């Protein structure tokens, strides 16, 4: 996803302040940080035909749970032979340091991503667990049978962790950026 970003000053709806219709793939994606904390960052990313540069792979220090809210995209992992075709409503968990790239996003329409970057040690353990040692998954506690692409059980566990973290947030009444208590 894009590294360019801005703070969500008054954004209180994922569909508000979208880029103008007809945004071209050679223009930058729009990234808005909705919530920031040392162990958790939530972003809305809007793509309009953009893709990762040729040969570029994201290798992020935090794990990422991503939901495709609208549009379509192709997401590729370095350790997989095929590109995953994501449609609105699809979500998945990307373990920290698992190389991945955006092969394509739908041209001519807004592809809206909700990305939740989190510390692997605080929300989900991506490195070890009683069910296996595959660092690509945050669901080792569910056993090796749970290690299927876009596995709804694994993703539900990540979503539950994200919801638990969000419930502890202090939400201001004026819709400004939420701050977590220390």
Looking at per-residue pLDDT, the higher value among 32 and 147 belongs to: 32
Predicted pLDDT at 141: 30
- 150 contacts 87 by C-beta, under 8 angstroms: no
Domain harbouring 129, CATH code: 2.60.120.10
Residue 19 domain flag: no
Judged against a pLDDT cut of 50, whether residue 124 lies above it is answered with: no
User: The domain containing residue 93 runs over which residues?
Assistant: 28-167
Predicted pLDDT at 9: 55
Q: Which of 46-55, 94-103, 126-135 has the lowest mean pLDDT?
A: 126-135
- 103 contacts 86 by C-beta, under 8 angstroms: no
Q: What is the mean pLDDT of the chain?
A: 73
- In the chain, the number of structural domains is 1
Predicted pLDDT at 179: 45
**By percentage, how much of the chain surpasses pLDDT 90?**
46
Residue 178 domain flag: no
- Sequence-separated (6 or more) residues with CB below 8 Å from residue 165: 40, 118, 123
């Amino acid at each position: 996803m894009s590294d360019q970003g801005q703070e969500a000053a008054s954004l209180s709806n994922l569909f508000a302040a979208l880029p103008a219709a007809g945004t071209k793939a050679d223009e930058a994606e729009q990234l808005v940080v909705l919530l920031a904390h040392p162990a958790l960052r939530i972003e809305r990313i809007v793509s309009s035909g953009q893709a990762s540069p040729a040969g570029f792979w994201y290798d992020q220090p935090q794990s990422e749970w991503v939901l495709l809210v609208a549009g379509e995209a192709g997401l590729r992992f370095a350790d997989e032979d095929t590109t995953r075709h994501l449609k609105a409503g699809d979500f998945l968990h990307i373990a920290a340091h698992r190389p991945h790239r955006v092969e394509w996003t739908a041209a001519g329409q807004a592809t809206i991503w909700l990305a939740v970057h989190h510390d692997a040690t605080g929300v989900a353990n991506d490195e070890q667990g009683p069910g296996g040692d595959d660092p690509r998954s945050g669901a080792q506690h569910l056993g090796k049978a749970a290690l299927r692409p876009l596995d709804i059980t694994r993703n539900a566990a990540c979503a539950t962790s994200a919801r638990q973290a969000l419930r502890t947030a202090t939400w201001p009444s004026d819709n400004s950026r939420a701050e977590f208590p220390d």
